[in-house]
């Protein structure tokens, strides 16, 4: 009852934590935004505080998505980089929102 041999890859040890760090980073950005809205002011100081979190979260999500695509194509043999399934879309939508920021 070991892990499936196809899943025994270093990509599995790197890809999910990168996505998780991206999600956590965007959660911090969201918390900053809610706090600023509750206090009633969004100014340049707020932007200075939230920008590093946004860039770090976006970078982690980008690396996680890229590594997952590479891993799925070469190691799992899916035959393509992207298939628009719900798991891929769950990482793509926050990335797209972060890109818009």
CB 92 within 8 A of CB 65: yes
Per-residue pLDDT tens for 41-71?
888 988 999 999 999 999 999 999 999 888 8
Return the higher-pLDDT residue of 77 and 59: 59
> At what angle are helices 86-100 and 10-39 packed, to 10 degrees?
50
């Amino acid at each position: 009852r070991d892990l499936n041999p196809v899943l025994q890859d270093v990509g599995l040890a790197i890809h999910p934590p990168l996505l998780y760090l991206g999600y956590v980073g965007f959660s911090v950005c969201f918390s900053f935004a809610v706090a600023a809205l509750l206090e009633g002011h969004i100014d340049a100081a707020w932007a200075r505080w939230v920008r590093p979190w946004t860039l770090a979260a976006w970078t982690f999500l980008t690396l996680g998505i890229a590594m997952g695509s590479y891993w799925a194509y070469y190691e799992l043999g899916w035959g393509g980089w992207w298939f628009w399934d719900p798991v891929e879309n769950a990482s793509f939508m926050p990335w797209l929102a972060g890109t818009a920021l």
